[in-house]
A and B are shown apart, each in its own frame.
Chain A
Amino acid sequence: MMFDFSKVVPSIPYILEGIGVTLQIVVFATIIGLILGIILALCKIGTIKPLRWFADFYTSIFRGTPLVLQLMIIYYAVPQITGIKIDPMPAAIAAFGLNSGAYISEIIRAGINAVDKGQLEASKALGIPYTKMMKDIILPQAMKNILPSLMNEFITLNKESAIVTVIGALDIMRRAYVVGGATFRYLEPLLIAGLIYYVMTLVLTFFGKLMEKRMGRSD
């Protein structure tokens, strides 16, 4: 028989525990990525040239090199320079956060540019200061338009987080691999891991649709 889950079943709770680890990485990286993305996007559309250069340079570096390389630089190379050892989890969160910040900043920049220039003029005419205008008038409208792209980015992040395996963080992927090594059966634990990722993506998609609907009430 091709499938034999009997050897793997006792290890399923062990693999499931990886959900917590994966979620931790994804949630914290998302928060960092969003905040960083907004800041970088504002730098890109702003009038201060050095900030614009920095934001563009940042984006090109993080988009132009492999994520797994960035992860390994933070985990292995940074301690070599600073002498401070970094645990796999903080290293993973930093790498994914910094990386998705670059992608999210491009999404948000496009979203801000797509908001009618009249919204900016109406805000100015009412004497609304720049920060409040961005926070309350422009960004909420931009967010609504880019929600599908943002959800896409989070789904990608959720799945791509599997590469933390290379620095030994015990996420879903790593645990499936460990179970495979211990039982000499790789197919079953890997299928279980795949199913878990798939269900997580479905849940994310569901929440994305829900948010889209909520934000769409002004249509």
Chain B
Amino acid sequence: MIKVENLKKNFGKNEVLKGISTEIKEKEVIAVIGPSGSGKSTFLRCINRLEVPTSGNVTIDGTLITEKNIMKVRENLGMVFQHFYLFPHKTVLENLTYAPINVKGISKAQATKTAEDLLKKVDLFEKRNEYPNRLSGGQKQRVAIARALAMNPTVMLFDEPTSALDPEMVKEVLEVMKSLAETGMTMIIVTHEMGFAREVADRILFLEGGKLLEEATPEEFFTAPKSERAKEFLEKVL
């Protein structure tokens, strides 16, 4: 459903993505891993055009993503950030209902009901009237996931969702993501959580120096990586 063709991105003279091509099928869970500065996050952000690619195409469900149609496309692409970026002046519930009401034009009653159901799923219904500053990091990230899901997206993008969390809060967020994967959501996850990637992902994309070095099932990748660079990387992180 997502097709990436020869995606390139430069920041000034610095070439961060050097031509990445891949295809992601519906209901697939993709883990993007690789060393810092390998272009993982840039790759993810090019998919919903938070970074405008220097060249190359991203096609979603047969539609080429352009500057013109991106706003419409983003409604169906949920995104979760490393630093949550909840709206601090809105309550948890308002964080979930704002976009559905104001972007999709859903009625307040309907949006509230959907939001409450989602908050129950991430186990934060009791916090619905709190402001984000009253929540722990793990709780904030679960709200951020619920906020993205409130738009009823077809794809979820995760940009290192657990990297800013205290160790004891990583698990609660991964649990939520795991159960989301089990519902058949298409997910692209940039992560450093190797155990999680191995357990949940259908496919691993290994990026290094702006290139897609390896594309394999978790089984293949973690037991018998093909490239020298991937072997090195795994030795360091596992």
**A residues whose Cβ falls under 8 Å from a Cβ of B:** 116, 118-119, 121-122, 124-129, 132, 136-137, 140-141, 144, 215, 217-219
Decide: A140 and B89 in contact? CB cutoff 8 A.
Answer: yes
Which of A118, A129, A141 interacts with B71 by CB under 8 Å?
A129
For B74, what are the chain A residues with a Cβ–Cβ distance below 8 Å?
124-127
Enumerate 29 A-B pairs (CB-CB under 8 Å) in ascending A order. Answer: A116-B85, A118-B81, A118-B83, A118-B85, A121-B81, A122-B86, A122-B87, A125-B48, A125-B77, A125-B81, A126-B75, A126-B98, A126-B103, A126-B147, A127-B72, A127-B74, A127-B103, A127-B151, A128-B98, A128-B99, A128-B103, A132-B102, A136-B98, A137-B87, A141-B89, A218-B88, A218-B89, A218-B132, A219-B133
* B50: interface (CB < 8 Å): yes
Decide: B88 and A141 in contact? CB cutoff 8 A.
Answer: yes
Q: Could you list 7 further interchain pairs (A-B, Cβ under 8 angstroms) beyond the known A118-B85, A126-B75?
A: A121-B50, A126-B74, A127-B99, A127-B103, A129-B71, A129-B103, A218-B90
Which residues 118-164 in B have Cβ within 8 Å of A in the complex? 131-133, 147-148, 151
Decide: B98 and A122 in contact? CB cutoff 8 A.
Answer: no
**Known contacts A128-B102, A129-B103, A136-B102; A121 and B133 CB within 8 A of each other:** no
* B212: interface (CB < 8 Å): no
Decide: B85 and A127 in contact? CB cutoff 8 A.
Answer: no
**When A and B form their complex, which 3 residue pairs have the shortest distance between CB atoms, in order from nearest?**
A122-B85, A125-B79, A118-B85
For B79, what are the chain A residues with a Cβ–Cβ distance below 8 Å?
122, 125
Q: How far is the CA of A72 from the CA of B151 in the complex (A)?
A: 55
Q: Which residue of A lies closest to B82 (CB)?
A: A118
For B132, what are the chain A residues with a Cβ–Cβ distance below 8 Å?
218
Decide: B77 and A217 in contact? CB cutoff 8 A.
Answer: no
Q: Which residue of A lies closest to B48 (CB)?
A: A125
Q: How far is the CA of A118 from the CA of B164 in the complex (A)?
A: 14
Q: How far is the CA of A118 from the CA of B84 in the complex (A)?
A: 8
Decide: A126 and B151 in contact? CB cutoff 8 A.
Answer: yes
